[in-house]
Structure 1
Amino acid sequence: MSETSAKLRIDKWLWYARVAKTRSMAAKLVTSGHVRLNKEKVTAASQTVKIDDVLTVTRANAVIIYRVVQLGSRRGPASEAQVLYEDLSPAPSKQTAEEKAQQSDPGHRPSKRDRREILRVKRGYLDE
């Protein structure tokens, strides 16, 4: 088989590249609609990938974009898996600690001081 016509199943490639822990998890990721191949949604784990294809994988809190550099022949160590792709994902935005706290707990409970202030306003004791 020549290098230009080499193809590999998408679930195998995701497993080789260590995007998923097991091949069945990689297949489930593909069939559940979380993977796009060259901007087209993939629903079959048997879909083939070739060199220079672009994969977009949607994870819990991030979107990861990979360009296939090599197909691989086995699931090796992480250093071997990193050779299979080029990461095209945008860098995560830097947020301040305060912004992260507001996003993680938007309906925070008021402190004791806040509750006393609320009671003063409700009862009309604004002068104190």
Structure 2
Amino acid sequence: MASPGAAGSIRLDKLLWYLRFARSRGLAQAMVAAGHIRLDGRRVTRPSAAVHAGATLVLPVGERIEVIRLLALPQRRGPAPEAQACYLKLDAGTPAASS
């Protein structure tokens, strides 16, 4: 099996788990299926949706809504600092740069 970054994309549920936004892949799948995630401005309900580097995600984190820009695809579910290096948090005052 090829590494997630080899194909240039990764499944959304796997990405959320790798980046530590979900404690398990099953919880990530449920979060996506419930329609809580937006990928590049559109609501996504398929856990198998492909995500590429440069994508913008809007997702709930506890009581907050986080907007992140994916800088690189993670290769594994590593420690938190490794996961945080793969994305950039955007806030309401930061304009999203168009690619």
Same fold (TM over 0.5): yes
Shift in Å, 1:62: 1.1
- Segments of 5+ residues of structure 1 without an aligned counterpart are 92-128
Q: Distance in 1 between the 2:21 and 2:61 partners?
A: 10
How many residues get paired? Answer: 90
Q: Look up the match of 1:11.
A: 13
- Segments of 5+ residues of structure 2 without an aligned counterpart are 94-99
Q: Look up the match of 1:66.
A: 68
Relative to structure 2, which stretch is displaced further, 31-40 or 56-65? Answer: 56-65
The 4+ residue runs of structure 1 with deviation greater than 3 A are none
Q: Look up the match of 1:106.
A: none
Let me know the Cα RMSD of the aligned residues: 2.0
TM-score (norm 2): 0.82
2:79 to 74, 77, 80: 77
- 1:43-80 CA-partner distances (Å, limit 9, x unpaired): 00000100110000024421101100111111000011
More strand by share: 2
Higher radius of gyration, 1 or 2: 1
TM-score (norm 1): 0.64
Q: Distance in 1 between the 2:34 and 2:43 partners?
A: 10
Q: Distance in 2 between the 1:48 and 1:54 partners?
A: 13
Q: Look up the match of 2:51.
A: 49
Question: Looking at both structures, which has the greater relative contact order when contacts are Cα pairs under 8 Å and sequence separation is at least 6?
Answer: 2
